[in-house]
Amino acid sequence: MSRPRVGVLALQGDTREHLAALGEAGAEPMTVRRRAELDAVDALVIPGGESTTMSHLLCDFDLLEPLRARLAEGLPVYGACAGMIMLASEILDAGARGRQALPLRGIDMTVRRNAFGRQVDSFEGDIAFAGINGPVRAVFIRAPWVERVGATVQVLARAADHIVAVRQGAVLATAFHPEMTGDRRIHQLFVDIVNGRR
């Protein structure tokens, strides 16, 4: 599978940037808004955005349970920022009662929403990332962090002593937005995971 079909969940968030990055990393990118589109992809990216809104749109579009099922079957998924929150097995500060972010349970981890602060507290910096040579420029916007990981979860990166990138099997998550830089190494890592190379 040299050019896997990698979908980007296009309900809300920065879809266009991920589509471009995936294309540059050797995938055949496509948007996913419907069940048939989800069924047609080899892998999926859940972009940044607002995790509570995205969770409820998954319900509105009848995608929540099908996505949970495909994750359980081994679908490779990469979640960035809000995508990381949604991939968690447990979400702290999940939102107002009745409008909470709904965990997809793709990675055995506990994630805290907006852990680094509000929009005005957004920042960027270089971090070390396991398996990638040289520093990675990480853009954090209302970013989460990981407070707990299960025994089979690999910690890939930290920032300010907090876990900001993890992998469990074919599921990858970052608290930051690699699509906002010109660096395609994390998208390339994900495409390699989809292709069984890493």
CATH number for the region 5-195 comes to 3.40.50.880
Q: Is 179 an annotated catalytic residue?
A: yes
Q: What is the pLDDT of residues 146-185, one digit of tens each?
A: 999 999 999 999 998 999 999 999 999 999 999 999 899 9
Catalytic residue, candidates 17, 18, 81, 187:
81
| Greater model confidence, 12 or 95 | 12
- CA distances 71 to 33, 65, 188, Å, are 17, 10, 20
Q: Is 81 an annotated catalytic residue?
A: yes
Cβ neighbors of 137 (< 8 A, separation 6 or more) are: 124, 125, 126, 181, 183
Six token digits for residue 153: 């979860």
Positive or negative torsion for Cα 89, 91, 97, 102: negative
pLDDT at res. 14: 78
Catalytic residue, candidates 18, 56, 177, 187:
177
pLDDT at res. 180: 93
Annotated binding site: 49-51, 113, 141-142
Catalytic residue, candidates 17, 18, 56, 179:
179
Helices (H) and strands (E) in the chain, counts: 6, 12
Rounded-to-integer distance, Cα 192 and Cα 10, Å: 22
Q: What is the mean pLDDT of the chain?
A: 92
The confidence band for 197, taking pLDDT boundaries of 50, 70 and 90, is confident
Q: Is 177 an annotated catalytic residue?
A: yes
Angle in degrees, CA 27, 70, 56, rounded to 5: 95
**Residue 109 dihedral angles phi and psi, to the nearest 5°:** -155, 155
